[in-house]
Structure 1
Amino acid sequence: MGLSSLGIELGTYVLVGSIFLLLLTGLPLAWVTGLVAIIFTFGWFGPNALPLVTSRVFGFITEYSLVAVPMFILMAALLDRSGIAKDLFNSMRVLAGRVPGGVAVQTLIVAILLAAMSGVIGGEIVLLGILALPQMLRLGYDRNLSIGVVVAGGSLGTMMPPSIVLIIYGLIASVSIADLFTAAITPALLLLAFYIAYVLVLCIRNPKLGPPMSREEAKQESLGHALVSLAAPLFIVVVVLGSIYAGVASITEAAALGVSSVLVISLLRRELNFKMLQDSLVHTLETCGMIIWIGIAAAALVGVYNLMGGNRFVASAILGIDAPPVVIIMVMMLILLVLGMFLDWIGIALLTLPIFVPIVVQLGYDPIWFGILFAVNMQVSYLTPPFGPAAFYLKSVAPPDITLKHIYTSLLPFIGLQLVVLMLLLFFPELSTWAIS
C-alpha cells in the first residue's frame, strides 16, 4: 500500500512535517525538498510519474529570464570587490554634515543606491558592515541603532529594483518583471523613508544615540569630490533601470549592461584585475548553484504535490475560510512570515507561489500587487530569528563583541517598521499599483 492511501489532507501534513524534520538534521534545503519529492513521487504514484515531475524541472531550468539572475549576482560581486561602493560611502559624508544621526541616514541612502545597482542582499550587508558599522561605532552611535541601520538598510535589495526576489516572483507568477520593478519603487522608497524618519526622531530627541560629526570631520570631503564619487554609482543605476523603463532592454539585457558598466568603470579606475574577476566569477557560480539546486528540488516537489491534488486541496482550504478576501490575503502573509523564520526565500517562493498566486487571481486581486507584498514579506524574513540570514551576514564581519543576540535585538524596531509598511500596502494597494495603472 502506497502513500496515496493517506489521502491528500493527511499526505499534506506528512509532506510538510517531513520537510521540517529533515531541516532539523542540518541538511541543505535543496537536499531536503529533493529527497521528499523523490519519496512522494515513488511512494504516491510509482515510477511512472517521474517523467511528469522532470518535465517541470526542465521547464524551470530552461526559463530564459533566469539568465538575468547570474548577471545581477556578478554585478554585485564586482561592486563588492571594486572601490566604487567604498567611494560612494565616503563621499556621502559631506552630505551627512553635522546633523544628529546623519551618518546613519547616509548609510541608509547608500544602501538604497547599492540595492538599485545590484539587487543582491548578502553582499550589501557585508559591505555596509565593513564600511559603515565601524564608523558609526567610532563616532559614538548607539550600538543597537548602528546594527539595525546596517542590516535593515542592506536588506532593501529585496524591494528595490533590480531585485532578484521580484525576478523570481515574475517567473513563477508569469507576470511582467518590468511592471513589478515599476510597482516596487514607491514601496521601497516608503520603507526607506520610514527608516530615515525613525533614525532622525530618535537622534533629534536624544543626540547621544547618534552624535553629529565634528566640524573637522565634516570638512574632510569637499562637495565637488563627493559629486564626482557619486557619478559612477548613479551612472550604473541609470544604465540598468533606465534601459528597462525606457524599453531599450529586457531585464536580462539590462543585467548584462550593468555588468559591462561595472567592468568598464573598474577598468577606468584601474581596479580590474584577474584576481578580482576570478573571485567575482567564483562567488557568482556558488550563489547561482545554490539558487538553481533549490529551484530544481522545489520545482520537483511542487510538481508531485500538484499531481497529488495538493494545489486544489490548499486552494479549497484557503478559499473555504468564511471571511472577506483581504483576510485570506492576511492568512497568506502570516503563512509566509512563519515560513520565513525557517526557510530561505527562494524555497518559500518556489514552494508557495505556484499555489498562492492562482488563488490571489481567483479572488480578483492584482498579482503584481501581491508580488510587492511578497517582497516586503521576504524582507521581514531576512531579519527574523531564528534563521534570519541578514544577522549571520553581519555577524561574519562585525566586531567580536557583537553577538547574534545583540543583532536580533537591534532588528526588532526595524521589523516593526517593515510590518507597518506591509499593512499599509495590504490595505492601500494603490501605493504600489499607481505607477502601472
Structure 2
Amino acid sequence: MTPELLAFIMFGVTIVILILGFPVALSLAGSAILFAFIGDQLDLFRFAFLNLSPTRIFSTMKNEPLVAVPLFVYMGVVLQRSDIAGQLLESMGQLFGKMRGGLGYSVVIVGALLAASTGIVGATVVTMGLMSLPVMLKAGYNPKVASGIICASGTLGQIIPPSIVLVLLASILQGVNEEAAAMTGNLAPDPVTAIDLFAGALVPGLLLVGLYLGWVFILTLIRPNDVPSMKDESIHAPTLGTLLRAVLPPLILIVLVLGSILAGIATPTESAAVGAIGAMLLALQAKKLNLKLFRDVGLETVKVSSMVFLIIIGAGLFSTVFKGFGGDDVIAEFLRHLPGGAFSALLLVMLLMFFLGFFLDFIEIIYVVVPIVGPILIALGYDPLWLGVMIAINLQTSFLTPPFGFALFYLRGVAPKGFKTSDLYAGVLPFIAIQVLALALLWTFPSLVTWLPNLLFS
C-alpha cells in the first residue's frame, strides 16, 4: 500500500463517519490519530505525528485573529436575547406590510442588517422564523416562498462582514499563501487578512441582498398570489420615532464594528471587542440586561466557541496527517494537469465544495479542503482575496442545501405545527440558484471583489 492511497482511504472514511452523524471534532481528530498510527506502523508517514501535533494545536490557539470568533459570537447572542432583532422585524413588517411582497422585502432587509451587526446564522434564522413565518403564512404567503426567503436571508451573515467565516478563512489563507509561494518558487504575496476579506466581501454581500430583493419583486409579477400584501387593517406604518428606535441600534453597531475595521481604526479582534461591549450597552438601553441574560449569553458563547475551536483543532490534525501521507501532492498534480488548466481546476474545486456542503458544515470544509486545494489554486494564478470570497459564498450555500443544511434545521425547529419539510426544501431551491448566479457574476467580474479593497488599502 502506498502512503497516497492511505491518505485517500482516510479521507473517504472520515466523510462517511461525518455523514453518519458522529461529532465533527472527534471524527476528524480520531481519524487523523488512527491513520497516523497505521501509517507509522507501516512506515508510510513522512514525519513524527506525535511530535508535530502539539505544535499544530498551540499555533492554532495562539492565532490572534481567531480571538474575534468568541467575541463576535457573544455580540450576536446578546442582540438575539435582548430582542433588538425582534423589534427591527416588527417595525420593518409594519413599514412594508401593505405592499405586495412587502413582508418578503422586510425579511431580506432585516436579514442584511442583522448579518452586518451579528453574523450569527442560527440566531437570525430562529428569530425570523419565530416572528415572521407565522405572520407570512397568515397573510397568505406560499409556505415554500416564505421559508425560502427566511432561510436565505438568515444565511447572509456568512458573507456580509463581520463574518465568522471570513475570520476563519483569513487564518487559513495566510498559511495557504506561503505554501503556494513555495510551489512556484516566488516570494510569498502579502497575507490576506480578515480586514481584506471583510472589504472584499461587502459588495458581493450587497449584491446577494439585491438579487434576493429582485427575486421577491419577480414573484410579485409572475406569482402575485404567493406574496400577497397584508390585509389586516390594524397594521399601520410605524411612526418615525418607532422606526428609528428599531433601526438605529443595529446601525450604530454596524458603524462601530464594520466602520472601525474598514477605516483602519481597529483590527477585527479589537472591533469585535467593541461590538461585544456595544451590544451589552444596547441591551442595557433596551432594559434587557440582567444577571440571567449575562449568564445565558456567557454559557451560549462558551458552547459555540468551544465547538468551533475543537473543530479547528481536529481539522488541523486531519490536514496534517493527509499531507504527511502525500495526499496534497497527488491533488496538486491532478489539478495541474486537468484539461482546461486553471479554469477547470477552480471549477472542479468549487463543485466539490458545493457538493460537500450537502453533508458537511462550513467549518469542516474550510479546515479540511481549503488547506489542501488552496495552495495549488493560488499557484495557478488566482488572487487569494478573490478566491477567499468565492469560497465564502460557496460555503454560504451549504446552509441551504438539503438534507443537512443548518438553516433548514433551524427553521424546521421553530416552524408552526403542520408545516411541511418538503415545502422547506422546495423553498430554498431558487435561492441556491441565486447564489450560484452570484458566484458566476463574481467569476466573470472579479472587480466586484477587488474594487473596494483596492480603493481602501492601495
Shorter-chain TM-score bucket reads over 0.9
Q: Give the aligned partner of residue 177 of structure 2.
A: none
Measured in 1, the distance between the counterparts of 2:55 and 2:334 equals 28
The one-letter code of the counterpart of 2:21 is G
3-state SS in 2 of match to 1:401: coil
Q: Give the aligned partner of residue 210 of structure 1.
A: 227
**In the alignment, structure 1 residue 20 sits paired with structure 2 residue 15:** yes
Deviation (angstroms), 1:169: 0.2
Deviation (angstroms), 1:218: 4.5
Measured in 2, the distance between the counterparts of 1:274 and 1:152 equals 34
Q: Could you state the TM-score of these two structures normalised by the residue count of structure 1?
A: 0.95
- Please give the residue correspondences for 1:149-168 in structure 2 after superposition, counting only pairs within 5 Å: 149-168=149-168
- Please give the residue correspondences for 1:135-150 in structure 2 after superposition, counting only pairs within 5 Å: 135-150=135-150
3-state SS in 2 of match to 1:321: coil
Answer whether contact 2:7 2:327 (CA < 8 A) is retained: yes
Answer whether contact 1:93 1:221 (CA < 8 A) is retained: no
**In the alignment, structure 1 residue 279 sits paired with structure 2 residue 274:** no
Answer whether contact 2:19 2:360 (CA < 8 A) is retained: no
Q: 1:182 aligns with which of 199, 219, 233?
A: 199
Deviation (angstroms), 1:216: 3.4
Q: Give the aligned partner of residue 33 of structure 1.
A: 28
Q: CA RMSD in A?
A: 1.5
Measured in 2, the distance between the counterparts of 1:326 and 1:344 equals 26
Measured in 1, the distance between the counterparts of 2:141 and 2:347 equals 37
The one-letter code of the counterpart of 2:298 is L
Deviation (angstroms), 1:127: 0.7
Q: Give the aligned partner of residue 277 of structure 2.
A: 260
Q: Deviations over 1:138-192 (max 9, x none)?
A: 1111111110000000011111000111110000001111110011011111111
The one-letter code of the counterpart of 1:18 is V
Identity of aligned residues (%): 38
Q: Give the aligned partner of residue 92 of structure 1.
A: 92
**In the alignment, structure 1 residue 45 sits paired with structure 2 residue 62:** no
Q: Deviations over 1:91-113 (max 9, x none)?
A: 21343153210111011000000
Answer whether contact 1:100 1:204 (CA < 8 A) is retained: no
Q: Deviations over 1:392-411 (max 9, x none)?
A: 01111111212332211111
The one-letter code of the counterpart of 2:446 is P
Q: Deviations over 1:23-45 (max 9, x none)?
A: 34431111111111001212113
**In the alignment, structure 1 residue 305 sits paired with structure 2 residue 290:** no
Measured in 2, the distance between the counterparts of 1:81 and 1:364 equals 45
Query: Taking structure 1 as reference, are residues 221 and 331 closer, same or farther at Cα in structure 2, changes over 3 Å only?
Result: same
Answer whether contact 1:94 1:222 (CA < 8 A) is retained: no
- Please give the residue correspondences for 1:361-380 in structure 2 after superposition, counting only pairs within 5 Å: 361-380=378-397
Q: Give the aligned partner of residue 55 of structure 1.
A: 55
Answer whether contact 1:107 1:128 (CA < 8 A) is retained: yes
Q: Give the aligned partner of residue 383 of structure 1.
A: 400
Q: Give the aligned partner of residue 104 of structure 2.
A: 104
Answer whether contact 2:386 2:449 (CA < 8 A) is retained: yes
Q: Deviations over 1:338-388 (max 9, x none)?
A: 111111110110001112221122111111111111111111111111211
Deviation (angstroms), 1:315: 1.0
The one-letter code of the counterpart of 2:10 is L
Measured in 1, the distance between the counterparts of 2:49 and 2:143 equals 55
Measured in 2, the distance between the counterparts of 1:24 and 1:379 equals 19
3-state SS in 1 of match to 2:414: coil
Answer whether contact 2:68 2:272 (CA < 8 A) is retained: yes
Q: Give the aligned partner of residue 69 of structure 1.
A: 69
Q: Give the aligned partner of residue 7 of structure 1.
A: 2
3-state SS in 1 of match to 2:399: helix
Measured in 1, the distance between the counterparts of 2:282 and 2:92 equals 19
Measured in 2, the distance between the counterparts of 1:313 and 1:413 equals 36
The one-letter code of the counterpart of 1:169 is L
Measured in 2, the distance between the counterparts of 1:416 and 1:118 equals 25
Answer whether contact 1:144 1:410 (CA < 8 A) is retained: yes
Measured in 2, the distance between the counterparts of 1:291 and 1:65 equals 14
Q: Deviations over 1:49-90 (max 9, x none)?
A: 311122112211221111100011111111111121111112
Q: 1:350 aligns with which of 367, 371, 389?
A: 367
Q: Could you state the TM-score of these two structures normalised by the residue count of structure 2?
A: 0.91
Q: Give the aligned partner of residue 244 of structure 1.
A: 261
Q: Give the aligned partner of residue 3 of structure 1.
A: none
Q: Give the aligned partner of residue 424 of structure 2.
A: 407
Measured in 2, the distance between the counterparts of 1:338 and 1:265 equals 40
Deviation (angstroms), 1:118: 1.1
The one-letter code of the counterpart of 1:191 is L
Structure 1 stretches lacking a partner, 5+ long: 1-5
209-218 vs 286-295, which deviates more?
209-218
Q: Give the aligned partner of residue 307 of structure 2.
A: 290
Measured in 2, the distance between the counterparts of 1:70 and 1:349 equals 18
3-state SS in 2 of match to 1:350: helix
Query: Taking structure 1 as reference, are residues 15 and 215 closer, same or farther at Cα in structure 2, changes over 3 Å only?
Result: closer
The one-letter code of the counterpart of 2:59 is G
Measured in 2, the distance between the counterparts of 1:213 and 1:342 equals 38
385-394 vs 47-56, which deviates more?
47-56
Deviation (angstroms), 1:220: 4.8
Measured in 2, the distance between the counterparts of 1:311 and 1:345 equals 20
Measured in 2, the distance between the counterparts of 1:145 and 1:278 equals 37
Q: Deviations over 1:173-216 (max 9, x none)?
A: 01111110011011111111111111111123333211113483
Structure 1 stretches of at least 4 aligned residues deviating more than 4 Å after TM superposition: none
Measured in 1, the distance between the counterparts of 2:308 and 2:441 equals 31
Measured in 2, the distance between the counterparts of 1:268 and 1:15 equals 52
Structure 2 stretches lacking a partner, 5+ long: 42-46, 175-191
**In the alignment, structure 1 residue 82 sits paired with structure 2 residue 77:** no
Measured in 2, the distance between the counterparts of 1:217 and 1:255 equals 40
